[in-house]
Structure 1
Amino acid sequence: MASLARQTPLFRRSCLSASRSPMQVMAFHASAKKQILPPLPQVIHGTTNDAVEVPKTHATEGSYHWTFERIISAGLVPLTLAPFAAGSLNPTMDAILCSALILHSHIGFQAMVIDYFPQRRVPKTRAGLMWLLRGFTLATAVGLYEFETNDVGITEALKRIWKA
C-alpha cells in the first residue's frame, strides 16, 4: 500500500492518514505569503560592546510632544462641556474649541502616518501623506471658520441637534 501511495498522487490526496504530508499542511493556510515591501538590508554596524548612540533631544519629539498631546486631549473635555454647563454662547469659546479640535485631530492623524509609514521605508509616500494631512487640516479649519462666522457656530449647532 505504501508503494501505491508513492506512485499515485491522487491516492495520497484522498487518503486520511495520521501523518501530515505537505499537501495537508498547505490546506490550512488561507493565502500565500506575500511581502508588500522588500526587507531592509540586514547589516550590523559595530560590535555588541559598542554603546548606543543617544539621539539629540528635540522640543517637538519625545516626552514634550507626548505631554502636549495629553494637554490638548484633556483640555477638550472642559472646552466641550463649558458652553453647555454655563449656558452661554460665546464666539471666543467656540473658536477655542474649534482650534483645539483641529489641533487634536491633526496630531492624532500625524501620529498614525508616522507610525505606519516609516521614513526609512517609504519616504515619498510619507511625505505625500503628510502634505495631504496638512491640506485636509487647512480645509477643515477654513470650513469650521466659515461655519462659526457665517452660521450658528458649533455649540449652538450641537444644542439644536440635541434638542431635535
Structure 2
Amino acid sequence: MIKPISNVTLKPLPPDKNGNIFSHIEIDGIHHNISVSDAFLEAAFSYQDKYILIFVTLEGGCFEELLHIYLLDPYRDKVLDYAIIGNLYSFTYGDVSSIQIRADNTIFFKFITADGWLLTLFKQPVRTFPISFKTLFVVQRPFSFKRYFSITANKTTHLQR
C-alpha cells in the first residue's frame, strides 16, 4: 500500500568539487546516512510501511532536465533502487506534476512527456535484464539484475475522428 507522507526532508550538502549537489535524508527530524542527488523534494511516499519512495529534482522549477526517483530502506540506511528520467543539456525539460496514487503499488506522474509515466512497486525484488530497451534513452537505471520498481511510459489511446 502506497501512502503520501510529509515527514521526509532533504538537507542539501555543499556542492562537490564538480559542482554537483547532494542532500542527506531526514525522516521525522532524524538524520539518516543516505545521500541523494539534487536538493528539492517533489514528493514522498511510504510503501508497505517500511520503504520510502521519493521524487527529487534540482530546484523544483518548471525547467527541470532530470528527475531522480529513489526507493529507500530507512531501517538499513540504504538506497534499494533508483531511476533518473531525462537527459542533461537536452531540449526536453519540464516540471513534475499530476502525481497520483493509481493502485496499491502504482503511481502515475507527468515529467517531460504529455502522457506521463507509471511507476509500479514490486512486493519483492524481481529478477530482470539490467537494461531496458523500451526507455533506454530517457530512463536511466543502475546496472542490476534485480529491481524493486518499474517505470513505463503511460500509454493513452487517442480517439481519431
TMscore range, shorter length? under 0.3
User: Which structure dedicates a bigger proportion of its chain to helix?
Assistant: 1
TM-score, normalised with respect to structure 1: 0.19
Q: Which has the larger radius of gyration?
A: 1
Larger proportion of strand:
2
Q: TM-score, normalised by structure 2?
A: 0.19
Greater relative contact order (Cα < 8 A, sep 6+): 1
